[in-house]
Structure 1
């Protein structure tokens, strides 16, 4: 059994999507739960279409049915988890009828989904940013973990809660400490023992307090608390929510440095642009969504004055008075292994000999870890989180009667920095659009391909209408790839209180035809 939610898998994670389709051909059942009828829904045993932003409600509804019908794995629950009684108490009110009122999912279909998931010998959950990019993003993920633990679908092959990363090597970047509160391998910066290990290796004093998240940095820049930003391989003036707010914050900076392979919209605003190298122009590793570390080999030398990112960082550190002594990427990887327990057994030599290694790989003899939590959770016992449904930060009203949700298309990638310069791809999807239900299009008085103005409390965009039944009435969808019709001029910068991730997936908009 495979449950996919908040992920347009075949279009955005085609390798994983292909494996899911292969599993279906071999007899696996599929549940797709998504406000948009994505292509994968055509292959589903059961497709559920909830209202945008009601994830916790239907996840709790599944848990309610599983508990009420005694479908949970009580042996697993008793031996390996804590907090079951609290979860049972919270989900008690999420009956199928109540969930139907909140989400629009028919009560009978919710019961079918719960029985399919809990009745399978092995069940997997796949999710992506369609589950996390909400002010309730952390609660959404916790509710998924609740389902997996309730049914014992964790710690075995063919089970688990499987996050699909939004960009290549996002997993590797996080593993290497590209987060404000951890060093490599998720060693916390406020842990004195972990911090002192890095201080000894680098011969510097490190901050003991966590830094700021992306959204917090932009707010701090607007308030004048941050004077300089150094942005690598990111294009916030297309990808961040409420772009007008982001631009104002950047314009208040004393210094903006952007390191990228093309002159992006953000780089065009920078005081200094450092030309980086693309994946084919450098050596290193990528860590993919299944924690598999793989080698990347240089195929071409960087063009012109461009340099590999590690060389730029090294040169900059030296100019600022800290002499980084690395001479090759392999030296850096060796230091990673020394300082990062999960990567300790991973070397270039081993990566040459094998098709990558999955961390944790704690020593040179270890074969890697195909799946986590086999015999125990890293924290000991798994913890159920009794989370309650709360609505999105912004809901439709008389002035803005439609829900806008955003995402990607099969033919463009992220902010179009690369795909927007590729003629074959541009031929397929050259510009932005808004998907709108046929009933709503008729009500507004527009037809497929007509220009429309989409506006929110933060901005407005003119783009073409794509009229279909992919989205339900009352909901519209826009891809965020296109700077000329930037969906993120409209989106809300409200964030999840824990992860600080913006609520890209839901905001209130109005739509009208334009001449």
Structure 2
């Protein structure tokens, strides 16, 4: 995130897209509602009429996979009506002309036909966002989990820079992370192209730095992403998979293919519970939960915070770092740490953004990175004055329809997401009796018009089929979704990701198109 969570309530306009914020990020949702009470205007774009849609000044119920067309149309209006920040564009950005030329054809009428919304609503949204003194954009996996997810984020960045909202308090471009400490995991190098601190593995200087720090020879080649590693295991190119705190048997696309792939590799799983993935493992390491270990978490706005051990871990469960240290020593890499703080001190020496952070400094409150020195206060707002790269790079992007929507056999668009009551793959929440009474299993939301055409009533058992397979679930008839759109929450193993596509990935970040799947729905007797 470019800005801190506490700033959202100071924005004059908020554009939320691809995020069911009040259900998936309730604390941030509360900040948004505080902003509305203070007079902020709200724009919401989503395939479903999420709770915040009722608070919105403009709600754009877009067809899944059409966000690029919407964002281009909003920029079209901003430029046509002179709402752009000409000084910011001229002084601290580049390649603006290519974007301005590209968005000319994306008139509100042109994009409205693609997105399935009213052209005047696109104009109204653009005027609210472009006309505000300070505006922020919040987005989540409804934007990124597409085969053009990276480019979709680029079009949001175009909006932010064109209006001069980068580097402003209450402004910026703010991705809401899907799980706790996702940001921290990325910071620590849990990405296939980076060492800790986003230092490229292909950079010889970075390789030399970490070889010296760790006393080991390191590869200078990018590794696999998760979505590449599992197919590679299926093909025999990956012989072993070590999965920590993740449950791809539920969260990854095309469940049948995932299972086949995991069964072909030597599988190690490190987790709190025996998940659907751990049940397939050759070795399971029981890990301690957050309240059973010391360490730090880094939240969505880059704030590094202490985590303190409150209770002892049960049975043989150990803190993750203890498992890793024991494993390293057993395979011949000598490692010796006495506690989590010693590891954090090492992190500081190799990660420039963390260099000024110490346990003493974050004892009573978190500090956002970058924090390069011990007398630095931290950086709640990125890109003040100008983008960190020197000049902000505009990117011209064309909308392309997903190949999932090209089949007459599967004419409906299935999108997936989370609900308030269950967390991710239910590894933890399905052990709570009260939660399971409220949200015991998956279902499919169907628009009343579609339900009537297929003779489906609320509560009926239906079959949903894609190119990958079929699931049986319960129909929930509701106009929360559009007429040719269905929604299935992904939390359960026998649900949405049995149907989603693992074959086509975003060419840049390799994320699958989980939010757009061609399906058909049939009533079962």
- Does the alignment reach a TM-score above 0.5? yes
Q: 1:240 aligns with which of 245, 252, 257?
A: 252
Q: 1:258 is matched with which residue?
A: 269
Q: 1:211 is matched with which residue?
A: 223
TM-score, normalised by the number of residues in structure 1: 0.99
Q: CA RMSD in A?
A: 0.8
Are residue 312 (structure 1) and residue 323 (structure 2) matched?
yes
| Cα distance in 2 for residues equivalent to 1:169 and 1:68 | 41
| Cα distance in 2 for residues equivalent to 1:78 and 1:402 | 44
**Contact persistence 1:437–1:472 (CA under 8 A):** yes
Are residue 90 (structure 1) and residue 99 (structure 2) matched?
no
| Cα distance in 2 for residues equivalent to 1:411 and 1:386 | 39
Q: 2:240 is matched with which residue?
A: 228
Q: Can you list the C-alpha shifts for 1:85-117, whole angstroms capped at 9, x where unaligned?
A: 111111111111111121112111111111110
Are residue 197 (structure 1) and residue 225 (structure 2) matched?
no
| Cα distance in 1 for residues equivalent to 2:413 and 2:359 | 48
**Contact persistence 1:396–1:402 (CA under 8 A):** no
Q: 1:343 is matched with which residue?
A: 354
Per-residue deviation at 1:445? 0.8
Are residue 488 (structure 1) and residue 497 (structure 2) matched?
yes
Are residue 173 (structure 1) and residue 182 (structure 2) matched?
no
| Cα distance in 1 for residues equivalent to 2:495 and 2:120 | 39
What pairs with 1:137-148 in structure 2 (closer than 5 Å)? 137-148=149-160
Per-residue deviation at 1:392? 1.3
| Cα distance in 2 for residues equivalent to 1:393 and 1:200 | 47
2:360 counterpart SS class = helix
After TM superposition, where is structure 1 displaced by more than 2 Å over at least 4 residues in a row? none
Per-residue deviation at 1:398? 2.5
Q: Can you list the C-alpha shifts for 1:118-139, whole angstroms capped at 9, x where unaligned?
A: 1000000000000000011001
**Contact persistence 1:358–1:369 (CA under 8 A):** yes
Per-residue deviation at 1:69? 1.3
Per-residue deviation at 1:393? 2.8
Per-residue deviation at 1:397? 3.0
Q: Can you list the C-alpha shifts for 1:445-494, whole angstroms capped at 9, x where unaligned?
A: 111111111111101111111110100000000001112x3210001112
| Cα distance in 2 for residues equivalent to 1:414 and 1:326 | 32
| Cα distance in 2 for residues equivalent to 1:457 and 1:115 | 41
Q: 1:279 aligns with which of 267, 280, 290?
A: 290
Q: 1:290 aligns with which of 296, 301, 315?
A: 301
Per-residue deviation at 1:327? 1.1
Gaps of 5+ in 2: 1-12
Q: 2:522 is matched with which residue?
A: 512
Q: 1:401 is matched with which residue?
A: 411
Q: 2:427 is matched with which residue?
A: 417
**Contact persistence 1:221–1:250 (CA under 8 A):** yes
1:348 counterpart SS class = coil
Aligned pairs, how many? 512
2:376 counterpart SS class = coil
| Cα distance in 1 for residues equivalent to 2:172 and 2:408 | 42
Q: 2:87 is matched with which residue?
A: 75
| Cα distance in 1 for residues equivalent to 2:353 and 2:172 | 20
